[in-house]
Chain A
Amino acid sequence: MSVSSSTRRRKPAVAPGKDDRRARGVAPRGAADPSRDGKHAKDDPFVTAFDRTAEALFGAEPEWLRAARRAGIGHFSELGFPTPKHEDWRFTNVAPIRDAGLAPAVSAGQVAGAGVGRIPGLESNVLVFVDGFFAPALSRSGASEGLRVEALSAAVAAEGDGIVREHLGKVVAPGTHPLVALNTASWRDGALVVFAAGQTVKEPVHLVFLSTGRFAVAPRVLIVCERGSEGSVVESFHGTGDTPCWVNAVTEVAVGDGARMEHTKFQCENMASFHTATVQSRLGRDAYFTSHSIALGGLIARNDINTVLAGQNSTSDLNGLYICRGAQLCDHHTIVDHAVANCASHEFYHGILDERSRGVFNGKIFVRKDAQKTDAKQTNRGLLLSADARIDTKPQLEIFADDVKCTHGATVGRLDREALYYLEARGVNPAEAGRMLTHAFAGEIIGRVAFAPLREYIDRFIFDYLEGLPALR
């Protein structure tokens, strides 16, 4: 695209201590404090619903988990449902989610076929959840050496303590994000995926979340990559029908020393729905994590993609592609937390916006005092296909170390007229020329997906999706 580009290299510190509260806030540990749960705002519908149903729903769970839920609702009650007055929600007004009054799903709805959301080439381990409930009849799990995949509720019931207790709520900090807190209090099911130490599992595990109706659903996923393992997990979110639902998801990814993990989130709920989700990863030494957030669906979609580089020589790559039309709003907030020295992070986000849709990208990078030799790069590009579309973009670099390389660049532009003319001069009609250029722009992100069948599926899906955009018809 012929758009202006600003890349600046920023070396020295922003005044240390500035906004220290928020800086501490992303620290992943030690935020939960169950004693706070006495302060519930009694009139909050989410809190009241929790108080009314918690005993019946969660009474049989182990005490540590029930305590975590109480702490979660406590944090939520304290933080309150997000409003644009919160700095992190300035561009994204989620009041319509609250006002929709969607009640938690009590049972799974009907799904027309077993094939919804399935991806060719991802056959061995597919866990399907309908309205948040595990659907064994729609799922498949084959034996793979070094891989454990099961419904999270089943894992908790089977083992009580163990790997779930060790990691659940430890990667993410429920006390810093109201919707993470709400999920922590109210999740009904989700998945546990464990890659055993030293094992490589080539085919991605596929988690499919289907929404069928007017419900609020809070899926919870825990992914543990033990030392030296290598694996990939895809989470797909699809809505069947056209009634609004609200998916409020939390995924925690613990990436052990020397482990390599690819996480792909493919979000395409219907245009009436709401999607709020956090994917929080924490990396050990010599670890590698890459996240792909492909966001197409929902009237309001908010993705928080956070990564903490907690072990030296680790690398996190965060990639994102969002496509909006109509009145859609898609918001990505990323936090890359360089907690220790000698780590690298790369962010590539592309947004495509048609009609009167809006995109938000907010990329925070923390470089802690000890995180010398950090190499952090953030690139965020927006393509506006209509005069009414808009992107708000904000890089936030908070650097407390002095020997680091941090760059960020943000550009927003339109389709390159020279390139369109060139294609048209060869007989390609204007709409197809626009699709070719837009697809190429999307392809820069899609091309980063490592597993070929998944990459090809997404590429084909996006190609077809672009054909439906009014500006490209």
Chain B
Amino acid sequence: MDTLLEIKGLRAGVEGREILKGIDLVIRAGETHAIMGPNGSGKSTLSQVLMGRHDYEVTGGSVTYLGKDLLELETHERALEGIFLAFQYPIEIPGVNNVYFLKAAYNALRKHRGEPEIDAMDFLAMVKEKARLLEFEDDFLRRSVNEGFSGGEKKRNEIFQMAMLDPRLAVLDETDSGLDIDALKIVAHGVNSLRRKDNGFLVITHYQRLLNYIVPDFVHVLVDGRIVRSGGKELALELEERGYECVEQHAAA
């Protein structure tokens, strides 16, 4: 059970256009992996394919999660099995209350594990504790999901939800984009406090900046649908210095 996720030769695309052209990646429990790459390299496609978004089509390869064929599962089943995607662009849902939504999600998890629904007071106490971690005011709990949230608030809400649902494997899709440095620190602190020996993180980012705060064990460079280089955290610094061109050339060579 050491391996959380194993991706082999994954090919996928949208509307007949292939974007991922053979991805191989293994994430073990306790590891944090970063995927970096230029715009259009397929970073977000990878995150959406892992979550099972309807309009993406897998054309080859396999994804095994905790020994199961992940690609056979519906989106909500993947979530119930412990996969969490922090969205790059969180959706606003007017009329659906934040806490109500979270409680439904939390209880769906409990039900999936054969546990009874959580007591309302216990749930609220837990919500308040996790909200403090992300420095959320109480009033945000009374609002609709992401409605009228600033960009930073939406991203913090993603990590807040992650803290509530406590996934085995979390995929963070450009969670740093649009964040100022203070918000970035809050988000990173939230993520770091959740890192444990039995869970894993896949952090997708365009910039190295986030990785100063969420320090990865491995860095992979994605170019044109393929991982062209993998290394330790120092690879991120090298990319920051020399840009993606060098690896692109490297890949072409």
Contact = CB atoms under 8 A, between A and B. Distances in A.
Given A421-B53, A422-B87, A422-B90, A428 B105 contact: yes
Contacts, number: 72
B108 A436 contact: no
B105 A443 contact: no
Interface in A11-56: none
Nearest to B53: A421
Contact of B101 (A417, A423, A429): A423
Interface stretch (B28-36, B72-80, B206-214): B72-80
B109 interface: yes
B108 A428 contact: yes
Contact of B76 (A418, A428, A441, A443): A428
Given A418-B91, A419-B91, A421-B54, A427 B96 contact: no
A424 B84 CA distance: 11
B95 A441 contact: yes
Contacts of A439: 95-96
Contacts of B84: 425
B85 interface: yes
Contacts of B112: 427
A425 B95 contact: no
Interface residues of A, number: 22
20 contacts: A421-B75, A422-B91, A422-B145, A423-B101, A424-B75, A426-B79, A427-B76, A427-B79, A427-B80, A428-B101, A432-B104, A433-B76, A436-B93, A436-B96, A436-B101, A437-B93, A437-B96, A440-B96, A443-B95, A444-B95
B50 to A, nearest CB: 10
Given A421-B53, A421-B75, A427 B95 contact: no
Interface in B185-222: none
B76 to A, nearest CB: 4
A257 B227 CA distance: 75
Interface string A404-446: 0000000000000111011111111110110011011101100
Interface of B: 51, 53-54, 74-76, 79-80, 84-85, 87, 90-91, 93-96, 101, 104-105, 108-109, 112, 144-145, 161, 165
Nearest to A435: B104
Contacts of B101: 423, 426, 428, 436
A444 to B, nearest CB: 6
B95 A424 contact: no
A179 B75 CA distance: 52
A325 to B, nearest CB: 21
A423 B108 contact: no
Closest 9 pairs between A and B when the two form their complex, measured CB to CB = A440-B95, A427-B79, A426-B105, A422-B91, A424-B75, A424-B76, A427-B108, A427-B80, A443-B95
B94 A440 contact: yes
Given A440-B93, A443-B95, A430 B76 contact: yes
Nearest to A438: B95
A427 B108 CA distance: 6
Interface residue SS majority, chain A: helix
A441 B108 CA distance: 22
Interface of A: 417-419, 421-430, 432-433, 436-437, 439-441, 443-444
A428 B54 CA distance: 15
A427 B105 CA distance: 6
Contacts of B74: 424, 430
Of A427, A432, A440, A443, chain B has the most CB atoms within 10 Å of the CB of: A427
B108 A429 contact: yes
Nearest to B145: A422
A401 B165 CA distance: 58
Nearest to B102: A426
Contact of A427 (B90, B91, B94, B109): B109
B79 A425 contact: yes
Contacts of B80: 427
Contacts of A430: 74, 76
Contacts of A422: 87, 90-91, 93, 145
Of A418, A439, A440, chain B has the most CB atoms within 10 Å of the CB of: A440
Nearest to B79: A427
Given A440-B93, A441-B95, A417 B105 contact: no
Nearest to B90: A422
Contacts of A417: 54
Contacts of A419: 91, 93
Contacts of A418: 91
Nearest to B51: A425
A436 B53 CA distance: 19
A73 B94 CA distance: 49
Contacts of A427: 76, 79-80, 105, 108-109, 112, 165
Of B90, B93, B161, chain A has the most CB atoms within 10 Å of the CB of: B93
Given A423-B101, A425-B75, A427-B108, 6 more contacts: A425-B84, A427-B76, A427-B112, A432-B108, A437-B93, A440-B95
Nearest to A426: B105
Contacts of A440: 93-96, 144
B101 to A, nearest CB: 7
B171 to A, nearest CB: 10
Contacts of A437: 93, 96
Contact of A426 (B95, B144, B161): B161
A206 to B, nearest CB: 27
Given A417-B54, A422-B87, A429 B95 contact: no
A437 B104 CA distance: 13
Nearest to B86: A425
A389 B90 CA distance: 30
Nearest to B89: A418
